[in-house]
Amino acid sequence: MVLSLKERSDIMILPNLKETQKRTKNAVKTIEYSIDDKYVNLGKGKTYFIKTYGCQMNEHDTENIKAILEQMAFTEAEDMEKADLILLNTCAIRENAHNKVFGMVGRIKHLKESKPDIIVGLCGCMVQEEVVALEIKNKYKWLDIVFGTHNINNLPSLLNNFLKEKKLNLEVFSIEGDIIENMPAKRDSKYKAWVNIMYGCDKFCTYCIVPYTRGKQRSRKPEAIINEVKELKNKGYKEVTLLGQNVNAYGKDLDSSYDMSNLLEDVSKTGIERVRFVTSHPWDFTDEMIEVIKKYPNIMPYIHLPLQSGSNRILKLMGRRYTKESYLNLYNKLKKAMPNCSITTDIIVGFPTETEEDFNETLDVVNKCKFDSAFTFIFSARVGTPAAKMKDDTPLKIKEQRLYKLNELINKYALERNKEYLNKTVPVLLEGVSEKNEDLLMGYTDTMKLVNVKAPKKMLGLVASVKITDVKTWSLDGETVK
Ligand code: 5AD
Ligand code: SF4
C-alpha cells in the first residue's frame, strides 16, 4: 500500500547550521555496530542500487551501506531501473554536485510515478546541510528515507520504520559525531581497500563545507586501524589507502603523542604490499612523516598536497595557515627526500576578491612545482561558510578564463612528468580490465600513474614490473617484463 502525500505525517530530525559549527571538548564515543536480528530479513527478495557522488570517503561509506543492506538480505541490482531501493549518496562540496543530485532526483521521481512501491532515499553530505534538508522537507516529500553522515549505522531501523509506516523518515543529526567501529564493508575491489583513519575536520578553511557536514575531527584508535589492515592483508588485499579529510592531523585528538608518522610506520610494518594516504594538509606535514615515507618501501611515493592558491593574501582569506613560501619549502623538502615521488594538488580559482595578480601567483607556484596532475575548481559559495559572505565581484567569465589558463598549464606539466616514464620499468598493481580496451589490464604505479598494460588476465592482483611504451597527458601505456 502506498499512502498519498496527504496521508503521510512525516518523521523529521533536521540538521541545524549553528549546531554543526560547534566544537566542544566532549569525549568522542565509540559505538560498536551490530544489526538486530529483527532486521535481517527486511530486504528479502528486494534489490538495491546506490549512486555515489563525491570523494573517497563517500565511496567508502557506500561500501558500508551496501554491506548493511546485504545483511538485511537485499541484493545489488544491475541498474537503477531494476532496483526496489534507490539511494543517492550525495556530496556538498560545490554547487554542481548539488545540481547533479537534484537532476537525478527528478529522474527518479518519474520512475516512482510508474513504480510507486520503490523506496527512494538520499544520504551523505548534502543532506547534512540545513538548507538542503529544508528543501527536501518542503519540496521533496515524496522521498522515503533521508539520513546523514553520522547515522549510517541506523539504516536498518530507518528502513524498518519506513516499511512499517510508509512515512518519510528524515533523520539527520547535527552532532560532532561518534566513531562507529565494526561496520561491514562490501568493497569494490578485491585488491585495494579504503581504511578510514579519522572522521570529520576541525580546520574550517573558509570556503569548505566539510567541517559542517562531517563533524569534528575524530581519530580512530591505532589498534583498530592496524587490525583492519592486518585482516585485509590476510584476505589477500595488496593495497590500503588510509583515509581522512586531513590525515596529517591524525592523533591530535587522542590522549597520546601517537601521530601520523607513528601510524604510517605501524601500518607499513603489517607488511601489506602498498600503503597510501589521502588527503594531506600542507600545514601539519611533519619531518617525521617524510622520514617514515622515505624509509619504508611499501609506503608509496605519492603525495596529494592541496595548494588551493599561490597568493598569500588569498591563502590568508581561505584560512589555510601556510604561505606560498612555506608550501614551496615543503614541496622542495619532499622532492629532495624522495626525488621520484609524485605530487598532485587541488587548486581553486576565483576565490572572492582574487585579482589577476593573485592568480598569477598561483600560476607561479604551478610553474615552480610542475605538478604531476591537479584537480582544479572555480570557487563555489557554500551556505554557512565564511567565504560565502565575502564580497565576490569577479565575473564568472573571468573565472572561467582563469580556469582554462590554469588547466592548460597543468596539462602541459602532467604530460612533461609522464614523459619521464618513457622506457622506464615501474611497479604496477594490476587491478582490473582497461576501460579503453578489454584486451588490456589497468593499474596504478607506485606514484599513482594510471597505466594500460599488455598482460594476461591471470596477472590480475599482482604488482607487476611494467615497461612504459607510450605516454599521454593522463595515462601511460606499457607491457609486463620478466
Ligand atoms: N569551491 C570550490 N572548490 C572547493 N573545494 C572545496 N570547497 C570548495 C568550494 N567551496 C575543493 C578544494 C578541495 C577539493 C576537495 O575541493 O580544492 O581540496
Ligand atoms: Fe566528500 Fe566533502 Fe563531498 Fe562530503 S562534501 S562527499 S566529504 S568531498
Which CATH number goes with the domain that contains 113?
3.40.50.12160
Residue 437 sits in a domain whose CATH number is: 2.40.50.140
Domain count, the chain: 3
- Out of 124, 144, 171, a domain closes at 171
Ligand nearest to the CA of 306: 1
Query: How far away, in angstroms, is 28 Cα from ligand 1 center?
Result: 27
Q: What is the pLDDT of residue 12?
A: 83
Query: How far away, in angstroms, is 210 Cα from ligand 1 center?
Result: 10
In a domain, 466, yes or no: yes
Q: What is the pLDDT of residue 10?
A: 65
- Out of 419, 441, 462, a domain closes at 419
Residues 348 and 378 placed together within one structural domain of the fold:
yes
Residues 392 and 432 placed together within one structural domain of the fold:
no
Ligand 1 touching residue 180 (CB < 6 A): no
In a domain, 63, yes or no: yes
Residues 403 and 435 placed together within one structural domain of the fold:
no
Residues 457 and 308 placed together within one structural domain of the fold:
no
Query: Hey, which of 347, 377, 406 would you mutate to test ligand 1's pocket, going by the most ligand atoms within 8 Å of its Cβ?
Result: 377
Query: How far away, in angstroms, is 134 Cα from ligand 2 center?
Result: 19
Domain extent at residue 137: 3-171
Residues 257 and 392 placed together within one structural domain of the fold:
yes
Strands (E), 202-285: 218-219, 239-243, 274-278
For the CA of 55, the nearest atom of ligand 1: 15
Say if residues 316 and 354 touch (Cβ distance below 8 Å).
Answer: no
Residues 340 and 306 placed together within one structural domain of the fold:
yes
- C-alpha neighbours within 13 Å on the C-beta side of residue 482: 0
Rounded Cα distance between 46 and 74, Å, is: 5
In a domain, 178, yes or no: no
- Out of 403, 419, 435, a domain closes at 419
Residue 398 sits in a domain whose CATH number is: 3.80.30.20
Query: How far away, in angstroms, is 7 Cα from ligand 1 center?
Result: 41
Is 0.75 surpassed by the pTM of this model? yes
Residues 155 and 193 placed together within one structural domain of the fold:
no
In a domain, 176, yes or no: no
For the CA of 208, the nearest atom of ligand 1: 7
Residues 15 and 75 placed together within one structural domain of the fold:
yes
Q: What is the pLDDT of residue 165?
A: 87
Ligand 2 touching residue 209 (CB < 6 A): yes
In a domain, 177, yes or no: no
**Which triple of cell numbers denotes residue 188?**
569494490
In a domain, 340, yes or no: yes
In a domain, 410, yes or no: yes
**Which triple of cell numbers denotes residue 147?**
539520513
Residues 70 and 160 placed together within one structural domain of the fold:
yes
Residues 329 and 462 placed together within one structural domain of the fold:
no
Query: How far away, in angstroms, is 412 Cα from ligand 2 center?
Result: 28
Give the residue ranges of DSSP H helices in 185-259: 210-214, 222-234
Say if residues 344 and 448 touch (Cβ distance below 8 Å).
Answer: yes
Query: Angle CA(301)–CA(276)–CA(477) in degrees, nearest 5?
Result: 65
Query: Hey, which of 58, 95, 246 would you mutate to test ligand 2's pocket, going by the most ligand atoms within 8 Å of its Cβ?
Result: 58
Which distant-in-sequence residues (6+ apart) come within 8 Å of 93 by Cβ? Answer: 54, 55, 125, 208, 209, 210, 380, 382
In a domain, 367, yes or no: yes
For the CA of 56, the nearest atom of ligand 2: 1
Rg of the chain over all Cα atoms, to the nearest angstrom: 23
Residues 108 and 84 placed together within one structural domain of the fold:
yes
Residues 146 and 196 placed together within one structural domain of the fold:
no
Chunked into runs of 10 residues, the chain (482 residues) has average pLDDT values of 48 87 92 96 97 97 98 97 98 94 96 96 96 93 95 96 90 93 97 98 96 96 98 98 96 95 98 97 95 98 98 98 98 98 98 98 98 98 97 97 98 98 98 94 98 97 98 98 84
For the CA of 209, the nearest atom of ligand 1: 7
